[in-house]
Chain A
Amino acid sequence: NAGVTQTPKFRVLKTGQSMTLLCAQDMNHEYMYWYRQDPGMGLRLIHYSVGEGTTAKGEVPDGYNVSRLKKQNFLLGLESAAPSQTSVYFCASSPGGRGRYQETQYFGPGTRLLVL
């Protein structure tokens, strides 16, 4: 199993450009998440999904949109990139449900985004 994969690994954008980050998981997990990680700020949740066709806002959703058309994929879109969106983006998935050990998150390797 590949686990959680992210595409691309690194990207440079100019202010105002758009792009989509792709996250894929092969563990049949219900929940998926997008985080950004900035120095000194820790992991901050952007958006998340508790199942195919559902999405919800996290702590820092402004400037981002998401879609989960297929259970295994979670897309993060930047419609008009800004320098403040320069960050490392991590996708994660978890089995979901209320039982113990259904909540462990599995993270992808990250996408480094630089907005000039």
Chain B
Amino acid sequence: EDQVTQSPEALRLQEGESSSLNCSYTVSGLRGLFWYRQDPGKGPEFLFTLYSAGEEKEKERLKATLTKKESFLHITAPKPEDSATYLCAVKDRESGGSYIPTFGRGTSLIVHP
């Protein structure tokens, strides 16, 4: 059973059409939740870290929120350059001292002009 589940798998939006990506997780105790952006043919690039329920982080058109069971990545008025795969990763307090994250499978976002 996946610890981290992202939905939808793929999302197509028109430029300016706001939407949200979901990352639900099952852990013993959340140590941290991470969002990354991955462009085709490149490595993931760090976006946000969230540590506790109620926490929010913003960067340009992106806003990440966290509850006790899931995180949302809200995209407001997206532009074609926001097209990418967005990855969510979770670190569990019970995974030992090495704090190794578990990644979800990602959401592929395409924004049409």
Contact = CB atoms under 8 A, between A and B. Distances in A.
A109 B104 contact: no
Interface stretch (A11-19, A36-44, A70-78): A36-44
Contacts of A40: 105
Contact of B98 (A41, A56, A104, A109): A56
Contacts of B53: none
Interface in B62-113: 87, 89, 91, 98-101, 103-106
A42 B100 contact: no
A64 interface: no
B41 A110 contact: yes
Interface in A1-46: 4, 31, 33, 40-45
B25 interface: no
A79 interface: no
B42 interface: yes
B43 interface: yes
A48 B100 contact: yes
Pick the 4 closest A-B CB pairs, nearest first: A107-B43, A42-B105, A43-B103, A107-B44
Interface of B: 31-32, 34, 36, 41-46, 49, 51, 87, 89, 91, 98-101, 103-106
